[in-house]
Amino acid sequence: MVEVVGLVAAGGQFIEQSVKIIKLSKKVRDRYKDAPKEIEGWQRQIESLQKVIKTVCQSPSLQIRDVSSTINQCKSVSDFLLDVFNKIQFSSSDSFGQRTWRVAISFTKEEEIGALFNQLEQLKSTLDIQIGIIHLNQSDRGLSYVASLLEGMKLSYQPGTEEEHCLQALFVTDVVSDREGLITVKGTRTPGTFEWIPQTQQYRDWIASEYALLWISGPPGKGKTVISIFLSKLMEATKPDSTVIYFFCDNKTASRNSAVNVLRGLMSQLIHCHPHLLSILISTWRIQKENLFRTNSFETLWRIFNQMLETLKDQPYMAI
C-alpha cells in the first residue's frame, strides 16, 4: 500500500513538473529564433510520457514495484530538467532577437538538456514494456487483439466480388489459430519468463530504430518459437498504433513450410490491417489468377509485398 501511495505521489509530482517544463520549452521556442529544432519534439515526447503516467496513476492493476521504480526515475530526471530550464534567463527588457539561445544557455547545458530528454524517452520505453507485460500476464490479449483475421477480412469486402475471390485465393493459413495452437502444444508462458528480453539494450535499440532487425538464433529446441510468440504479443500490447504481422513456420505442415506461403500469410495480415493495399495485389491477380500463388511465384509476390510496405512507409510496422 505504501508503495502504491508513493507511485501515485511520484506520478503526480512528475505531471506537475512536466506541465512546467512544457511551458518553459514553449517559451524558449517563442523567445529565441535560434532555439534548437529538437525542442518541439522534446515537448511532444514529454506530453506522451505524461499521458502514460496518468494512465498508471488511474489504473491500480498497473501499480506494481517495477513501474513504481520507473516513475520515480522519471520524476528524478524531470527534477534535473526543470532545474536547468529554470536557470535560463528570460529578460522582458530584451527585444526579440537581441539575445540568442547560445547567449542564454551554454553549449554544455544544451547537451545536458538533450541528454535528460533522451533519458525520459528511454524511461517511457521501459514503462511501455512494463505495462505491456502486465497486460500479457493478466489476459490473453493477443487473441482478442486480432480477434479473427478471416472474419475481419470478410467484413471489409462484399461476398462474391472480385476482391473476395482474390482474398480467398491469397489465404493460406489462419495465423492467429496457428499461434494459439503452438501455445496449446508448448504450454502457456509462466509470468516472468522472457521478460528480461525487452530490458536488453539490443531490444531497446531495435524498437527505437526506424529500420532495424532483431535476430534471435539458436539450435532446435532452445525456445525461439516461444520467445517469438511472447514478442509478437508484447508488441501487440505495447504498439497498438503499429502494424504487427507474424508467421510461424512448420516443416510438417504444407501450408506453413514454404517462402511463398510465408509471404501470403504476411500479405493477408497487411491487407486485413490496411484494406486499401488489396489494390496493389489485385491488379496482378486479375491476370494470373491462382497461378499468382503457386510455389514458383516468390519473386512476383516479393515485389508486391515490398510495394505494400512502401505504401506504408510513413506508418510503423513490425514483422516476426
In the numeric block, the cell 510468440 is attached to 229
119 and 189 fall within a common domain: no
Domains of the chain: total:
2
Range of the domain at 115: 2-90+99-138
115 and 158 fall within a common domain: no
Over residues 217-237, mean pLDDT:
88
CA–CA separation, 42 and 54 (whole Å): 18
Orientation of helix 298-311 relative to helix 259-273, angle to 10°: 30
CA–CA separation, 203 and 215 (whole Å): 10
What pLDDT digit, counting tens, does each position of 25-42 carry? 887 777 776 677 778 888
34 and 163 fall within a common domain: no
CATH of residue 81's domain is 1.20.5
Percent of residues in the chain assigned helix, strand, coil, to nearest 5: 70, 0, 30
34 and 46 fall within a common domain: yes
pLDDT band at 91 (very low <50, low <70, confident <90, very high): low
Q: Which grid cell sits at 57?
A: 496513476
Our CA angle for 196, 241, 236, nearest 5°, is: 40
Which of these ranges, 100-114, 157-171, 174-188, 276-290, has the smallest mean pLDDT?
A: 100-114
45 and 177 fall within a common domain: no
Pick the last residue of a domain from 112, 138, 164.
138
Pick the last residue of a domain from 76, 111, 138.
138
255 and 301 fall within a common domain: yes
Per-residue pLDDT at 146:
39
| Nearest one of 1, 5, 6 to 75, comparing CA atoms | 6
pLDDT band at 143 (very low <50, low <70, confident <90, very high): very low
The pLDDT mean for the chain works out to 81
Residues 6+ apart with CB under 8 A from 266: 245, 247, 305, 319
CA–CA separation, 229 and 246 (whole Å): 9
Pick the last residue of a domain from 79, 114, 138.
138
| Nearest one of 320, 156, 120 to 239, comparing CA atoms | 320
Per-residue pLDDT at 121:
85
103 and 156 fall within a common domain: no
Q: Which residue has the higher pLDDT, 52 or 317?
A: 52
85 and 106 fall within a common domain: yes
What pLDDT digit, counting tens, does each position of 279-296 carry? 999 999 999 988 999 989
pLDDT band at 126 (very low <50, low <70, confident <90, very high): confident
CA–CA separation, 92 and 109 (whole Å): 22
What is the percentage of the chain residues whose pLDDT exceeds 90?
13
Determine contact, residues 320/231, Cβ cutoff 8 Å.
Answer: yes
The span from the first CA to the last CA of the chain, in angstroms, equals: 40
145 and 120 fall within a common domain: no
Per-residue pLDDT at 264:
93
CA–CA separation, 86 and 101 (whole Å): 14
Orientation of helix 38-57 relative to helix 65-86, angle to 10°: 140
Over residues 119-146, mean pLDDT:
71
Per-residue pLDDT at 262:
93
111 and 208 fall within a common domain: no
Per-residue pLDDT at 184:
86
117 and 249 fall within a common domain: no
189 and 122 fall within a common domain: no
Which of 8-22, 84-98, 285-299 is the most confident on average? Answer: 285-299
